[in-house]
Amino acid sequence: VTEYPLGRLAGLSVSARPSALIAFAATWLLGACAAFALGQPLLAALGAGLGVVVLHWLSEFVHQLGHAWAAQRTGHPMLGVRFWGLLSSSLYPPDEPALPGRVHVRRALGGPALSTVVVLGCGIIVQALAPAGGVALGLAWFAFLDNLLVFALGSFLPLGFTDGSALLHWWGKS
């Protein structure tokens, strides 16, 4: 499977599948179209679209930092992050021994926990920017909703590859 190495960040080796690059471009385009439809001039709309891209992938990486931090604290650290589509996966050593369920549970909870903190921070920023309005407020709302619906609540949906699925699998197992 094709995978582009992107280097190391915060002690994690970061890589991306081609699907992440497609999602990146599509998100930029959709963000720009939305801003244009809301009345922004073309250049400002392109800038807003880029803002959406930066905020989404930054939120994604911060979510993974939550997993990495929790993993570090269990003594079974994470190795890296692989971006694919609009999302990403936490990478652990392939030769990891069988670990107790509580280690998997703590690692799985780390991401949504940190994303919840980000949601609260974004909520404060939305409040602060509300009087000014404009593109900055729009981006703050995007970051608030993206973190709330995708990285905090959404990560609990049992979709097979999510934190919710890991929790369902490992919860209560010794």
| Contact indicator for 141, 123 with CB cutoff of 8 Å | no
* Closest CB to Zn ion among residues 26, 157: 157
How open is the CA angle 96-101-104, to the nearest 5 degrees?
60
- 154 is a site residue for Zn ion (CB under 5 A): no
Q: Which two three-digit tokens encode residue 34? A: 């939305």
**Site size toward Zn ion, by CB under 5 A:** 3
Reduced to 3 states (helix: H, G, I; strand: E, B; else coil), residue 133 is: coil
Q: How far is the CB of 25 from Zn ion (least distance, A)?
A: 24
- 138 is a site residue for Zn ion (CB under 5 A): no
Q: Which two three-digit tokens encode residue 4? A: 């582009």
Residue type, 126: V
* Closest CB to Zn ion among residues 40, 162: 162
- Candidates 36-44, 48-56, 91-99, 156-164: pick the segment binding Zn ion (CB under 5 A): 156-164
Q: Which two three-digit tokens encode residue 42? A: 């073309």
Q: How far is the CB of 81 from Zn ion (least distance, A)?
A: 10
* Closest CB to Zn ion among residues 32, 150: 150
* Closest CB to Zn ion among residues 40, 155: 155
Among 61, 122, 163, 164, the residue binding Zn ion under the rule CB under 5 A is: 163
**Which helix (H) or strand (E) is 84 found in, with range?**
strand 80-84
Q: How far is the CB of 173 from Zn ion (least distance, A)?
A: 19
Compute φ and ψ for 157, nearest 5 degrees.
-65, 130
* Closest CB to Zn ion among residues 113, 129: 113
Reduced to 3 states (helix: H, G, I; strand: E, B; else coil), residue 117 is: helix
| Contact indicator for 152, 115 with CB cutoff of 8 Å | yes
Q: Considering only residues 97-136, where is the footprint of Zn ion by CB under 5 A?
A: 111
The footprint of Zn ion (CB under 5 A) covers 111, 155, 163
